Structure 1
């Protein structure tokens, strides 16, 4: 697998060269992190299994999303796995982490592959990631049965869902501002959309509620420590979100440290917003 970016090449080589932990050492490190918040134990655990993020990222490259972003999402999944892992449940951390890494990458791909084609429920995820393979498999069948029916049977979903996803994935997204024809005074597609409903009281209340939530969120962000506030603003409140690598370079810290600060900041934000909501109630 070849990469143009030398930083990615070095990261991949370093990740794949990390030691493979024994089950006993995995448990020891996980307990040290869970019970004592030992960051060195967490760092060693994450570092050892960064290879999983690299491996899964290769599987998702065909969806034409940045490889580095895939690895970052995988590492976020790895961090969540470390936070939620129970070292006493008898399973290996590597097995548990693999599920979180894959889920994190799947969510990222579906959010970024298209703005309008896909949804986020379990059926649509299954179709998004398995539809093409199933279609290619059954396209070779000599059968009078519609392709959508055969695919639906294999994937155990409804024919309606299969046909809807086939339509969504069949062509590129189109802007509603694009003209319907080449005529100079032709209408755009957005002109054909008409809303017959007038604003209701519920609509107004919902809008005001949304404005209140934004106010609470921005107020909570202002209460974060300076570095965490900077990271949240650059990663989640910007129209052009910064990568972990870019922030690490700008702040003079490692990409892994940026990720740790981001996770801590998001946890603090959740607590602050929940506290504000409780007071308002």
Structure 2
């Protein structure tokens, strides 16, 4: 996501070369001109270089690494960066940030520019300026990086401007757009879906009940939470060897009553025998069976608690 800036537009950081990438021009001064509008007005007043002046400065910098020559070349092309950055305002990133990244691209271009190739610096620099702005947008537009391959990058910066309408693309429009951009139709449909979706907060906000439906709730696995694991392990132990030990401590009649009433279940989840069934089996009253059952369960509960402690 784009880093949050000050709510006051006059306090936006100015797009001047004060980053690590600007180390190639350590003497480039800070333009302390206040607001972004003042900065743009300033760079528009910087004189343009003639072809002869540009060639002389570029050759001097390439031959002697004269930083003053490089600074003059950079300053004379700052208005180009402002113009290019303005083309990317639709991505929701502050203009000042786009200009700052474009300035870094401009300085890289000046450092690598070879005047002997016959091309003007403006033609060479525009590719470096766009490359830096593209990279910054891709890194900051969404939490999840949108485009990593060459085809995806091409689609990211051209899909919306080439869509005939705001509606979803029809199959014929997908085919036409894929042909125009020289990409696969499947890539066009995938990028359209990714651009249409937005970022969702993982944990949500702690204001309404909506927080209960945040993705973090869907992803949570309580069975792996430490206290849940401990409780689960203790339950398994109580229902396994420890339960068998408690049963074996009962007399045969009490053990049979407990097993018939609580451990042997039918298809409906009930005990296989009722109090009256067991009363008939042992020739005693149903109340007596209940008393034996209660005493047996109390004894087992005490043994299991002692084992757990």
Query: What TM-score do you get using the length of structure 2 for normalisation?
Result: 0.55
Q: Contact 2:58 / 2:113 at 8 angstroms: preserved in 1?
A: yes
| TM-score, reference length from structure 1 | 0.60
For residues 190 and 168 of structure 2, the distance between their equivalents in structure 1, rounded to whole angstroms, comes to: 22
Which residue of 2 is the match for residue 50 of structure 1?
Answer: 78
What is the distance in 1 between the residues matched to 2:165 and 2:150?
A: 22
Question: Which has the greater radius of gyration?
Answer: 2
Number of aligned pairs?
A: 187
**Could you tell me which of 21, 24, 38 is aligned with 2:52?**
24
Instruction: Provide the secondary structure at the position in 1 that maps to 2:98.
Output: helix
Q: Does 1:154 align with 2:169?
A: no
1:86 to 114, 119, 123: 114
1:73–1:105 CA contact under 8 A, matched in 2: yes
Alignment of 1:1-281 (within 5 A): 4-5=9-10, 7-136=35-164, 145-178=171-204, 184=212, 188-191=217-220
Q: Secondary structure in 2 aligned to 1:188?
A: helix
For residues 128 and 165 of structure 2, what CA distance do their matches in structure 1 show?
Answer: 29
Task: Report the equivalent of 2:15.
Answer: none
Judge conservation of contact 1:30–1:41 (CA < 8 Å) in 2: yes
**CA-atom RMSD in angstroms:** 2.8
- Maintained 8 Å contact 1:74/1:102: yes
The runs of 5 or more residues in structure 1 that have no matched partner are 193-281
Report the CA distance between 1:117 and its aligned residue. Answer: 4.9
Find runs of 4+ consecutive structure 1 residues off by over 4 angstroms.
Answer: 137-141, 181-187
Per-residue deviation, residues 3-55 of structure 1 (Å, max 9, x unmatched): 95352111101111222211111111111111111111111100000011111
Deviation at 1:146, TM superposition (A): 4.3
Deviation at 1:182, TM superposition (A): 5.2
Question: Per the alignment, in what secondary structure is the counterpart of residue 106 of structure 2?
Answer: helix
